[in-house]
Structures are given as structure tokens and as C-alpha cells.
Amino acid sequence: MNWDQVEGNWKQFKGKVKEQWGKLTDDHLDTIAGKRDQLAGKIQESYGISKDEAEKQIAEWEKEQKDYK
């Protein structure tokens, strides 16, 4: 799965993102609007982790979404 799929279907992925990163609010998710760098920034900010760690978590999450068609 590439990130364009996530961005193009953000409304469907928002719930999955919120399940993974529960500290993100609906306002955060609306602001992110499927942008990977925005998601990384909000995860970093909300969880107090490094950018590298946020990117690692997103990459792992992406792998879990591989069944999305």
C-alpha cells in the first residue's frame, strides 16, 4: 500500500488511525487530512516522541494496512 491510497481514502482511514493513536483528536485528524508528514508531526507532539520514532510507528501501521484494497 502506498501513502496515496491513505490520503485518497482518508475518511476511511481516520478511524484506523485513531485506534492506533488514541491521543489524536478528531480536530487533529481533520487537520492532518491524510498528509503523512502532518500525521508524523501530530504523533510526535501528542506522544512526546522523536520524529524517527513517529515515522517508525507509521511504517509499522502501514504494513498492518496491507490488506486494504
pLDDT digits (tens, 9 = 90+) for 28-59: 999 999 999 999 999 999 999 999 999 999 99
Residue 23 has pLDDT above 70, yes or no: yes
Across the chain, mean pLDDT equals 92
Q: How far apart are CA 45 and CA 4, in angstroms?
A: 23
Confidence of residue 1 (pLDDT cuts 50, 70, 90): low
48: cell is 512526546
What was the pLDDT predicted at 68? 58
Domains in the chain (CATH in brackets) are: 3-64 (1.10.1470.10)
pTM of the model: 0.88
CA distance 9 to 69: 11
Q: Say which residue, 61 or 68, is predicted with more confidence.
A: 61
CA atoms within 13 A on the CB side of 18: 13
